[in-house]
Amino acid sequence: MSEENVTNIRIVDDKRSGLATACLVLGIISIVGSLIPFLNAFSIILAFVGIALGIPALIIFIKKKKGTLGKSLAGLILCILSLIFAFSMNKAAVDSINETFGSDEASQIVYDYGEAAELDGISIKVLNVEKNSGYTKNYINVKPDNDGDEFVIVEVEIKNISEETKAFNVLDFSIQTGNGEIRSAGFSMYDTGNDLGSGSLAAGGTKVGKIVLTAPKDDNNLLLIYKGNMFDSKERKFKLQ
């Protein structure tokens, strides 16, 4: 065999080996990036290119026993796994976004007084509502900041109906007045004797506590609003009479 023919065979073998090597390199790169949701779009492209290179390299080896079988198989496996991981991560991310920020039909429902509603593993129910203009204790007058307002003390029951620990906070609640104004629950000197406060509930745990709110006097169209997450658009509304 002439030296020229030997050289040509080596060049062809190098090209065949190059396909397998390129497939392997692309597989390694793509599988690393596949675990980053949305940013793994580049990894998806690399994985498809790697498969396009790896399949011919594998066919060449099977038919002509030329090239490197190990690199071809490893590269193809990595590329395929990259696609599986990438699509799975993206689907999980989209589902999580939809769950957190997506539409929620129950948010449009106004629950009756005493009716329980569920949101993200938490059950909420209004147990009692009382209104007053304040009180005096130890020479301290506890009254609403605005003369036209009154205190609205709402007793609620919170149940953790999930299988994991859930947090609760009085700041998750607000009140909507008859004219559509929404007022958040905040710090108040009003002593209910059983403030809701904040904390956590183990699976199956229950907390009963009172929330201090203010609203215009004699407003008979008040709604209690619960949002388990300040960044979440989902909420539950309850009539207070």
Query: In the predicted model, what is the mean pLDDT of residues 61-67?
Result: 71
Three-state SS at 52:
helix
Give pTM, 2 decimals: 0.58
Q: Are 75 and 20 in contact (CB under 8 A)?
A: yes
Does the pLDDT at position 139 exceed 90?
A: no
pLDDT band at 69 (very low <50, low <70, confident <90, very high): confident
Q: In the sheet where 173-176 sits, what is the strand order?
A: 110-111, 236-239, 223-226, 173-176, 182-184
Give the list of residues 6+ apart from residue 124 with CB closer than 8 angstroms, or none: 116, 117, 118, 156, 157, 158, 159, 226, 236, 238
As a whole number, mean pLDDT of residues 43-69 equals 82
Please report the pLDDT score of residue 107 as a whole number: 61
Domain coordinates in residue numbering, the chain = 3-101, 109-239
Residue 6 has pLDDT above 70, yes or no: no
**Whether 174 contacts 156, CB under 8 Å:** no
Read off the pLDDT of each residue in 139-160 and give the average, rounded to a whole number: 90
Among the ranges given (82-96, 98-112, 139-153, 192-206), the one the predictor scored with the smallest mean pLDDT: 98-112
Report which of 119, 200, 125, 121 is spatially closest to residue 162, judged by C-alpha positions: 121
> d(Cα 172, Cα 198) in Å, to the nearest integer?
10
Name the pLDDT band for 210 (thresholds 50, 70, 90).
very high
Are 126 and 156 contacting, i.e. CB atoms less than 8 angstroms apart? yes
Contact in structure between 129 and 239 (CB atoms under 8 Å)? no
pLDDT bucket at 105, cuts 50 / 70 / 90: low
- pLDDT score of 9: 41
β-strand pairing of 236-239 with 110-111 = parallel
Task: Give CA–CA dist 173/187, Å, rounded.
Answer: 12
What value does the mean pLDDT take over residues 129-145? 86
Least confident interval from 12-21, 87-96, 212-221: 12-21
Average pLDDT over residues 151-164: 94
State yes or no: pLDDT of 214 exceeds 90: yes
CA 61 to chain centre: 47
| Residue 99 pLDDT exceeds 70 | no
Query: Which contiguous run of DSSP H or E holds residue 107?
Result: none
Please state which architecture CATH assigns to domain 109-239: Sandwich (2.60)
